[in-house]
Amino acid sequence: DAKTTQPNSMESNEEEPVHLPCNHSTISGTDYIHWYRQLPSQGPEYVIHGLTSNVNNRMASLAIAEDRKSSTLILHRATLRDAAVYYCILRDYGYGQNFVFGPGTRLSVLP
């Protein structure tokens, strides 16, 4: 499976933008980039996904490097509720692979 590398932890101030990086240098052409997050005492929840182009939804934006070897999840205005572990996952749609969760990035949001 293609692997991802994320910082163990990050901090942000409330109401400021947050950029969460993910490196995936061995990504293949059929790997989707998925982001999930896990709030305390809850199951993971879907945030966003992309293949080649940048993506926006109501939760976040996903910026994908031109060579696809890295991506950044952007929270435009962090709130206390955004404090969670964020997972960047690659999944090869061509083979119908399952998700492999790494340790993710623990985001703390300071008031």
Partner 1 sequence: ETGVTQTPRHLVMGMTNKKSLKCEQHLGHNAMYWYKQSAKKPLELMFVYNFKEQTENNSVPSRFSPECPNSSHLFLHLHTLQPEDSALYLCASGSSGRVNTQYFGPGTRLTVL
Distance (Å, whole) CA 11 – CA 32: 27
29, 40, 96, 111: which one binds partner 1 (CB under 8 A): 96
81 in helix, strand or coil? helix
Smallest gap from Cβ 111 to partner 1, in A, equals 26
| Binding of partner 1 by 106 (CB under 8 A) | no
Alpha carbon distances (Å) from 52 to 33, 60, 76, 93:
9, 16, 21, 14
11, 16, 80, 93: which one binds partner 1 (CB under 8 A): 93
> Hey, which residues between 57 and 86 contact partner 1 (CB under 8 A)?
none
Smallest gap from Cβ 40 to partner 1, in A, equals 12
Buried b (16+ CB within 10 A) or exposed e, 3-40: ebebeeebebeeeeebebebbbeebeeebebbbbbbee
State the number of binding residues for partner 1 (CB under 8 A). Answer: 20
- Catalog residues that contact partner 1 under the rule CB under 8 A: 32, 34, 36, 41-46, 49, 91, 93, 96, 98-104
